[in-house]
Chain A
Amino acid sequence: MRAITLFAATLAMSISTAAQAGGSHGGGHGAATGQPGQADAVSRTINVVMHDNYYEPESVSVSPGETVKFVVENRGRLVHEFNLGTPAMHEAHQKKVQMMVAHGVIQGGSINHERMNMDMGNGHSMKHDDPNSVLLEPGESAEVIWTFPDDVSLEFACNVPGHYQAGMYGEVTSE
């Protein structure tokens, strides 16, 4: 049940972060990252397990234009993220996640959803609702359906502070 609610939450989204981050780093990323996929277009399911602090597997290979369903499960004791993007997008996103930690939204092994929805002024909140990512507590799982472009060079990454830097990322490459 938990997984289902969480999945629903991830669909209630704004794609602003991904779009802005892609755009602000010399362009071209937007085109290269792909887009949210449709369930009926899924050709393959890839399971990704989150540990403290690494993924299993640490690299994934996809066909040009392929739509993949990632089933992501957090088997660690800490909160982790699965976020598809370029290194530059991850770097930009890390500032937002840092703020979520600073404001107690992410507390080691748990997510405070009330704080996540708090009004930060200017119409912003700390909702983690981009279609290219999920944020999971220990024991949770969720799905991300993504249609990749023809030429892929992306990373899936955890942008919880320190985790990416410690090596919690994997590569997505074209087959």
Chain B
Amino acid sequence: MIRFSLLAGLFALIVPPLALAGEYDLTVDRVKIDTGEFVKEGIGYNGASPGPVLRFREGEEVTINVTNNLDEMTSIHWHGLILPFTQDGVPGISFPGIPAGKTFTYRFPVVQSGTYWFHSHSGFQEPDGAFGAIVIEPEAREPFRYDREYVVQLTDKHPHSGDRIMRNLKTSADYYNRQQQTVGEFFSDISEQGFMTTLRDRLAWGDMRMMKADVEDVQGFVGMINGKGPEQNWTGLFEPGERVRLRFINSSAMTYFDVRIPGLDMTVVQADGNNVQPVTVEEFRIGVAETYDVIVRPRDAQAYTIFAESMGRSGYARATLAPESGMQAPVPALREPARLTMADMGGSHVMSHGDGANMADIDHSGMEGMDHGNMAAMGHGEMNHGEMNHGDMAMMNGNARDPFYAPGSGLTPTAASGGKFLSYADLRAQQPLYEDREPTREVELRLTGNMERYSWSINGVKYEDADPIRLRYGERVRFKFVNETMMTHPMHLHGMWSILDVGADQWNPVKHTINVQPGTTVYMETEVDAAGQWAFHCHLSYHAAAGMFRKVIVEGGPESMSSALDSVNATAGGDL
């Protein structure tokens, strides 16, 4: 025992007692983005897209001077960082924005560690390239080990500008949907399923103003990793036997990626910047704006392909881990695109079928499957010895259905290798961030939209017509997301953590972005511990812009914040 208290004492001496302060400069610039397939004018930081990796240290007071070299307003939002709302960078909510030609200085203490990112919150500058990575080194040692690390920042670069994409979507929502079902598919479905079933199926989908192929509403992009297209092949070097930490960040405008590295298991150690109990997988799906940190250990002196297929299989990003630059490994073929099923319509409340189409098998009980009852099968709750057999344990082996997808969903992912695919249900906080307590109230947010008009909303109301969501400082709110649309929505609350309910109570993982799959209900809880006003929105760029967005006002809290609120609201203009 004496030995250890001594050691602990020595450790305390190593930690620098002085407050850290760092100053950083960013310029916002027009840049050229070369995907290898096309070159496109876009927006970047310090002359490039993606911008630099900002490296902070937990406990540091940062000063960041942002100079706007564009001829339009800009802003930077520090995605996932806990900071005073005036520094959060959302025009019209946090501050007025940064006018053309001006410099704005952000100042905030860094109170967390992990992998995050930053991006413009103005117009479509982010899809046009205005993003970069943030890496924050922790004060204490990490609960895992690695010999080297790389940021792996994904994006979906499109040849059209964000403004043009939005105009086209508004004109014709299926403008970028290249995988529409064909007449040929209609007839092959008839031969497989019979005429009436096929016809009913199509009628039902028509009622939804959706098509089965609406997994991705913006196709035609090139997947990029760290600014390199698949042919340009970003490469990270390693020595065989080393442990390599990969910090995956999905900075896409619209695209979910299924990520794997054939030949390597990946041990997930962090999700959205927060440590999770390590879970080893062969593949994972990264939603827009999420981050996952994984550790891999390539033992052989060979190249390995980092392969990130888009969820709808319309494109991919590719990079390489290799002992020497220039080496490469085979690039897998894209798998067959997913098709939405009737189960993915399960959340829709707009269905009315005078034609007698058989909707009985759309079982709403499936949504209750998200609740704790189902989590018991994860080996966490009560388990009856008598019922226990290896079949029940299929989830642990990655074969059973993922409770975060509707039963029978066409989107449920499976690993290309047949091995373990990460589920939200696998995520457990490494260390609880908050004391577990009962929520003070529940707020229901129905995710709603009309695909044909490309209108997206919350509780049926677009941002411009909506009242803010009012929370009280000190409460713990349980948010209930009910996805009534056919698309996956990555919901991002600024300023406060989103504690995802996976049925693990105090071990529920702490995130900043929560995916809500079609036909499902997902709960998250938030400790309302940050005064001021914040943005809360779907992180798909064109969904947010179309109105799936809310302002959240936190009432009460420290006096200094309420006076800051008054002054921001007196000056903040802007449209978002």
- Chain A contact residues, CB within 8 Å of chain B: 47, 49, 51-54, 56, 77-78, 98-99, 101-104, 107-108, 115, 118, 161-163, 165-168
Which residues in B have their C-beta under 8 angstroms from that of A98?
A: 396
Q: Which residue of B lies closest to A49 (CB)?
A: B4
Indicate if B7 sits at the interface (CB-CB under 8 A): yes
Indicate if B269 sits at the interface (CB-CB under 8 A): yes
Q: 1/0 per residue B412-431: CB within 8 Å of A?
A: 00000000000000001011
CB of B294, distance to nearest CB on chain A (Å): 10
Within the assembled complex, what's the spacing in Å between the Cα atoms of A75 and B280?
24
Q: Are A161 and B279 in contact (CB under 8 A)?
A: yes
Within the assembled complex, what's the spacing in Å between the Cα atoms of A78 and B504?
14
Q: Are A54 and B279 in contact (CB under 8 A)?
A: no
Can you list 17 A-B pairs, Cβ within 8 angstroms, ordered by A? A47-B4, A49-B4, A51-B143, A54-B143, A78-B277, A102-B393, A103-B393, A104-B379, A107-B379, A163-B278, A165-B267, A165-B278, A165-B295, A166-B143, A167-B145, A167-B243, A167-B295
Indicate if B170 sits at the interface (CB-CB under 8 A): no
Within the assembled complex, what's the spacing in Å between the Cα atoms of A129 and B295?
30
Whether A115 contacts B385 in the complex (CB less than 8 A), given A104-B379, A166-B295, A167-B243, comes out as yes
CB of B492, distance to nearest CB on chain A (Å): 27
Q: Which residue of B lies closest to A163 (CB)?
A: B278
CB of B138, distance to nearest CB on chain A (Å): 13
Q: Are B388 and A103 in contact (CB under 8 A)?
A: yes
Q: Which residue of B lies closest to A77 (CB)?
A: B431
Within the assembled complex, what's the spacing in Å between the Cα atoms of A108 and B505?
12
Which residues in B have their C-beta under 8 angstroms from that of A47?
A: 3-4
Q: Which of A78, A101, A118, A166 contacts B144 (CB 8 A)?
A: A166
Q: Are B279 and A162 in contact (CB under 8 A)?
A: yes
Within the assembled complex, what's the spacing in Å between the Cα atoms of A163 and B279?
8
Please name 15 further chain A to chain B contacts, defined as beta carbons within 8 Å, in addition to the given A54-B144, A162-B279, A168-B144, sorted by A numbering.
A53-B277, A53-B430, A54-B141, A56-B7, A77-B431, A103-B379, A104-B379, A108-B380, A118-B388, A162-B267, A162-B280, A165-B267, A166-B144, A167-B144, A167-B145
Q: Which of B297, B388, B393, B396 contacts A165 (CB 8 A)?
A: B297
Most buried by B among A78, A101, A103, A167: A167
Within the assembled complex, what's the spacing in Å between the Cα atoms of A163 and B280?
9
Which residues in A have their C-beta under 8 angstroms from that of B383?
A: 103-104, 115
Closest 9 CB pairs of A and B: A167-B145, A162-B278, A166-B278, A165-B267, A166-B144, A102-B396, A102-B393, A167-B144, A104-B383
Q: Are B396 and A162 in contact (CB under 8 A)?
A: no
Which residues in A have their C-beta under 8 angstroms from that of B279?
A: 161-162
Within the assembled complex, what's the spacing in Å between the Cα atoms of A49 and B428?
23
Indicate if B292 sits at the interface (CB-CB under 8 A): no
Within the assembled complex, what's the spacing in Å between the Cα atoms of A166 and B504?
21
CB of B510, distance to nearest CB on chain A (Å): 15
Q: Which residue of B lies closest to A112 (CB)?
A: B383
Within the assembled complex, what's the spacing in Å between the Cα atoms of A54 and B269?
13
Within the assembled complex, what's the spacing in Å between the Cα atoms of A78 and B278?
12
Q: Are B144 and A53 in contact (CB under 8 A)?
A: yes
Q: Which residue of A lies closest to B396 (CB)?
A: A102
Q: Are A165 and B143 in contact (CB under 8 A)?
A: no
CB under 8 Å from chain A, chain B span 276-299: 277-280, 295, 297
Within the assembled complex, what's the spacing in Å between the Cα atoms of A65 and B495?
58
Indicate if B507 sits at the interface (CB-CB under 8 A): yes
CB of B11, distance to nearest CB on chain A (Å): 9
Within the assembled complex, what's the spacing in Å between the Cα atoms of A99 and B389?
11
Q: Which residue of B lies closest to A98 (CB)?
A: B396
Which residues in B have their C-beta under 8 angstroms from that of A77?
A: 431
Indicate if B187 sits at the interface (CB-CB under 8 A): no
Q: Which of B143, B295, B396 contacts A101 (CB 8 A)?
A: B396
CB of B246, distance to nearest CB on chain A (Å): 13
Within the assembled complex, what's the spacing in Å between the Cα atoms of A104 and B377?
10
Within the assembled complex, what's the spacing in Å between the Cα atoms of A56 and B396?
30
CB under 8 Å from chain A, chain B span 370-414: 379-380, 383, 385, 388, 393, 396
Q: Which residue of B lies closest to A162 (CB)?
A: B278
CB of A121, distance to nearest CB on chain B (Å): 10
Q: 1/0 per residue B250-270: CB within 8 Å of A?
A: 000000000000000101010
Indicate if B146 sits at the interface (CB-CB under 8 A): yes
Which residues in A have their C-beta under 8 angstroms from that of B280?
A: 161-162, 165
Q: Which residue of A lies closest to B243 (CB)?
A: A167
Within the assembled complex, what's the spacing in Å between the Cα atoms of A107 and B431?
14
Q: Which residue of A lies closest to B430 (CB)?
A: A52
Which residues in A have their C-beta under 8 angstroms from that of B278?
A: 53, 161-163, 165-166
Q: Are B297 and A53 in contact (CB under 8 A)?
A: no
Which residues in B have their C-beta under 8 angstroms from that of A53?
A: 143-144, 277-278, 430
Which residues in A have their C-beta under 8 angstroms from that of B379?
A: 101-104, 107
Within the assembled complex, what's the spacing in Å between the Cα atoms of A108 and B509?
13
CB under 8 Å from chain A, chain B span 139-159: 141, 143-146
